[in-house]
Structure 1
Amino acid sequence: MKKMIAIVSLLLVLTGVLSACGSDSKSAQAEEKVTVKIGLLKNVTHAPGFIALKKGYLQDGFGPNITIEVTAFDNGSDFSTALATNQIDLGYVGPGPAINQYLKSKNIRVISGSNNGGAVLIAGKEAGIHSVSDLKGKTVSIPTKGSTNEISLRLLLQQAGLQVTTNTSGVQLITRNPADTLVAMRQKEIDATLIPEPWGTQMVEEGSGVVLVDWDKIPPNDGNYPLTILMASDKFLKEHRELAKKAINANLEGINFIQDHPTEAYSLISDELKELSGKGMDTELIKAALDHLNLTQAVDLAVIKTMAKVSFDAGYIKGIKEDGLDLSEFIDLSLLDEVNKENK
């Protein structure tokens, strides 16, 4: 009997030790220090991300043991490559280059919307362009090949019966990042540009350009198309699902803050632009740009599919047939649904 009591006592002690070890393991996991690498572009169309950083929504959500590293990109192609190769974990980008990358690597996902619309077609003030049809034989700039802006431009040209060509029989495309596009328009190196705000507004206000097609007439869907989406790598989603949910919530907080406190948001956005690019922006320009944005978490799969078809027809999506344009897993809003339920 004494022997049995001794054995039971020993088992209880071992159970307590193992329980303590398990508790310590969970505690250690909770206290694990992680670096989250966030990417975004130097455009006002990424404003919710700017606010999420400047107001501390991301850091507060992640907690004190998480270090945030921010990388600014000049175009969405570089961002998408960095996300797919795990150089960054999550961030903001346009769907055009993200679609192209996804169909190559299948290891990045859309986890939330952020902004619909916010790009404009600007013509040089003295270029003699009064309609999209007048772009025949002209040179038009886009931020990068395969960008969301190029997709919108190609749709506009299709509507006018024009094609992208390398000669004057159609429309010639060149790539310039937004800051260089501003200079190119001043120097009349280009005739027009489809560009995200606030660059279009800046061209109009300085007198170098005029609005040819305003943001709410840009295809697809008359400006109500995803221009900025929140994405994450599969690796990050697998290893840090809860942190991804915190990022989604911080994005929503950024959207709400801009809508509820626009005046304060202008200066914060300018401050973040200065950190990312070395130069802030006049608050009136930021206000004009935000007036051209539809900030939203929503992501329209039908519009995304339309954009993918344009990229495919343009030759940016290679190695698959048209019936292989499967985007059913490109958008994963399950985390967004969880966040919205938790916020109710």
Structure 2
Amino acid sequence: MKKLSLFLSALLLSTTVLAGCSSGDDNAADGQTTVKIGIFKNVTHAAGYVALDQGYFQKQFGDDVKIEVQGFDNGSDFSTALSTEQIDIGFVGPGPSTNQFVKSKNFRVISGSNNGGAVLVAGKDSGVNSVQDLKGKTVAIPTKGSTNEISLRLLLEENGLKVTTDDTGVQIIARAPADTLLAMRQGEVDATLIPEPWGTQMAKEGIGKILVDWDQIPPNNGNYPLTIMVANDKFLKEHRDLAKKAIAANIQGIEFIKANPEAAYTSINNQLKQLSGKGLDVEQIKAALAHCNLTSDVSVEAIEQMAQVSIDAGYIKGIKKEELDLKPFVDLTLLEEVKKEAK
């Protein structure tokens, strides 16, 4: 870690003045580069929050780079924005980003950020006390094709349940996390597989209970990529050095959280307030973060497994499972370079 810290410090000193802009029309008159970063309003994006709040991105990029942050509620909107170059780089789940990549093939996974951090919550009066009890019930996920839906489908399959549109199986509906919170309060849905901090908030309010904790959610019992760092091909081609520095900032965010958890809670809350208009109780952030495994590593095998579920569910069309090739999608070359140069 000491060597990595020395490398990261060196990167701060070696920031190169770069002309042009990753998004064309956003190039300032003084030649300043604008980097547009996308991120979710979830604690599972904690490393990105800290990297922003502690100024790691800005220090890595240098004063000649302007940062614009855009918050997203779901991976589908994020992935569309990335593929259409509305944003350059950011944090998302593998489910929706894989679905979009198969269609557009113009962005890549360049680093991990967090493994796990989603939980299955059952409503207080739902009568659901086990996964098997979900038969005939309605379960909410943030958006169709999301990483959370893929995990839910795997969990149901493990328990011999099918996804249906009637009471012979489990009905899945898509609702934004904030709307799901309201629906759980009103008893309109029976359960939800949802990223933190939403599950912890529901449990604290007493409107639901965590039925399956994060370290039992498939695949790999929670040790699957839930938050990855991705960048579009145009940004990678024009600003490869900035992409490496973004990876370094992400790693700094991970290290800061592990070394300074109390200070990290404040940083995370600061960014939550900016993105959603309101923060969380520090104890909720602490509890939610305990459900996350922050890491820059990426399990390609887990992403491939989730992609196969997406094919079965009809979210990835026009390709058979045996034809799926995600090697161009998961390109960890820059991450490997950052780690190698840190040694």
Scaled by the length of structure 2, the TM-score of the pair is 0.91
CA offset at residue 324 of structure 1? 2.4
- More moved, 307-316 vs 31-40: 31-40
Match of 2:255 in 1: 256
Partner AA of 2:66 in structure 1: T
State the Cα deviation string for residues 153-208 of structure 1 (Å, max 9, x = none).
Answer: 00010011111111111111111111111111010000000000111111111110
> What are the equivalent positions in structure 2 for 1:1-344 lying under 5 Å apart?
29=19, 32-344=31-343
Change (3 A) 1:306 1:278: same
Who is 2:9 aligned against? none
Any idea what SS the aligned residue of 1:210 has?
strand
Structure-2 separation of matches of 1:199 and 1:184: 12
**Aligned-partner SS, 1:222:** helix
Q: CA deviation at 1:322?
A: 2.3
Note the alpha carbon deviations across 1:5-38, whole angstroms, 9 max, x for none. xxxxxxxxxxxxxxxxxxxxx9785994110000
Quick one: distance in 1 between partners of 2:176 and 2:108? 25
What residue in structure 2 maps to residue 5 of structure 1? none
When residues 236 and 27 of structure 1 are mapped into structure 2, their CA distance, relative to the original with a 3 A threshold, is closer
* Cα distance change of structure 1 residues 184 and 44 upon mapping to structure 2, 3 Å threshold: same
Rate the CA distance shift 1:27–1:278 in 2: closer, same or farther, 3 A.
closer
Give the 3-state SS of the residue equivalent to 1:275 in structure 2: helix
TM-score (normalised: structure 1): 0.91
Q: Verify the 8 A CA contact 2:18 2:33 in the aligned structure 1.
A: no
The letter of the residue matching 1:110 is V
**Compared CA separation, residues 107 and 27, structure 1 to 2 (3 A):** closer
SS at match of 1:165: coil
Q: In structure 1, how many angstroms separate the alpha carbons of the residues matched to 2:312 and 2:211?
A: 25
Moved over 6 A (4+): none
- CA spacing shift, 1:186–1:29, aligned 2, 3 Å: closer
Runs (5+) with no aligned partner, structure 1: 1-25
Confirm or deny: 8 A CA contact 2:17 2:64 kept in the other structure.
no
Aligned to 2:36, the other structure's residue is in SS state strand
Q: Aligned with 1:270: secondary structure? A: helix
Query: How far apart are the structure 1 equivalents of 2:17 and 2:216?
Result: 53
Q: How many residues align?
A: 319
Q: Which runs of 5+ in 2 are unaligned?
A: 1-15, 21-29
Maintained 8 Å contact 1:103/1:325: no
The one-letter amino acid of 2:224's match is: Y
CA distance in 2, matches of 1:55, 1:295: 17
One-letter amino acid matched to 1:141? A
Residues 225 and 298 of structure 2 are in contact (CA less than 8 Å); yes or no, is this contact kept in structure 1? yes
Match of 1:15 in 2: none
2:3 equivalent in structure 1:
none
Identity of aligned residues (%): 67
List per-residue Cα deviations over 1:49-104 (Å, max 9, x = no partner). Answer: 00110000000100111000111011000000100110100000000000101111
Q: CA deviation at 1:114?
A: 0.2
Structure of greater Rg: 1
Question: Which residue does 1:21 correspond to in 2?
Answer: none
CA contact (8 A) 2:200 2:287 kept: yes
Q: Which whole-Å CA distance do the structure 2 matches of 1:33 and 1:79 have between them?
A: 25
Question: Cα distance, 1:343 vs. partner?
Answer: 1.6
Distance 1:37 1:27, change over 3 A: closer
Deviations 1:94-148 (A, max 9, x none): 0000010111111110000000000000001111111111100000000000000
Superposition deviation, residue 321 in structure 1: 2.3
Q: 1:139 to 1:55 in 2, by over 3 A?
A: same
Amino acid across the alignment from 2:129: H
Kept in 2, the 8 Å contact 1:80–1:97? The answer is yes
Q: Distance in 2 between matches of 1:46 and 1:289?
A: 11
